[in-house]
Amino acid sequence: MKKLIRSILLLLLFSFTFYHAQVPRFVKYNVADSGTSLYLPGEPKWETSVSEDKSTIYTTEVNFNNVTYGALVVKLFNPADNIEPVLENYLQYLNMNFFQLTKTTDIGKGHTMEKYPDVKGILEYGENAEGESYTIKCWGNKSYLSVLYIRSKEEVNYNFQEMYFNGFRFP
């Protein structure tokens, strides 16, 4: 009888935990009027600005279950023939001035997108003074670049990260 009660309690506990676990549902959203899109676990509110070099910048953050999914998308005013150094410069600037990372890994280069052979990508991991972990992936071609990041104090499911980072779409 004790085994039966223990089994029922374990089943109820498992069912309760599984039922209340929040799993993000990634939906494709347009990045304002940029012509690009990405998959997010909630509806974004886009802010638009113009940089000193006249590039248009779109930014958003979506919070889901104590995880922040952020994006910075740039429509370049002056096309870049070699996008990888541009991605690195944007990332270094954001690390110091926006993310304020106190620890970072070396930048992982050579990432590609199957559907976009002209796109290059870089990846970096970091942490800020508050102990929040960052995973940052940047994509770019001659006309656009994106800086996608996930910020959280807890470990984020690898599949959710992959869905987010590989869900950016160029025009």
Flag whether pLDDT at 17 surpasses 70.
no
Confirm whether 8 is domain-assigned: no
Flag whether pLDDT at 88 surpasses 80.
yes
Confirm whether 12 is domain-assigned: no
Residue 23's pLDDT band (boundaries 50, 70, 90)?
A: confident
Q: For the residues 32-47, what does the mean pLDDT come to?
A: 97
Confirm whether 107 is domain-assigned: yes
**Number of neighbours of residue 148 by Cβ within 10 angstroms:** 23
CATH number reported for the structural domain that contains residue 99 in this entry = 3.40.1000
Name residues whose C-beta falls within 8 Å of residue 18's C-beta, 6 or more positions apart in sequence. none
Confirm whether 141 is domain-assigned: yes
- Of 71, 68, 65, the closest CA to residue 130 belongs to 68
Name residues whose C-beta falls within 8 Å of residue 14's C-beta, 6 or more positions apart in sequence. none
Query: Could you give the percent of the chain with pLDDT greater than 90?
Result: 86
In the chain the beta strands, taken as DSSP E runs, fall at: 27-30, 37-40, 47-50, 56-64, 67-75, 101-104, 108-113, 116-128, 133-140, 144-152
Please give the tally of structural domains in the chain: 1
Flag whether pLDDT at 81 surpasses 90.
yes
Mean pLDDT of the chain: 90
- Domain enclosing residue 74, as ranges: 24-165
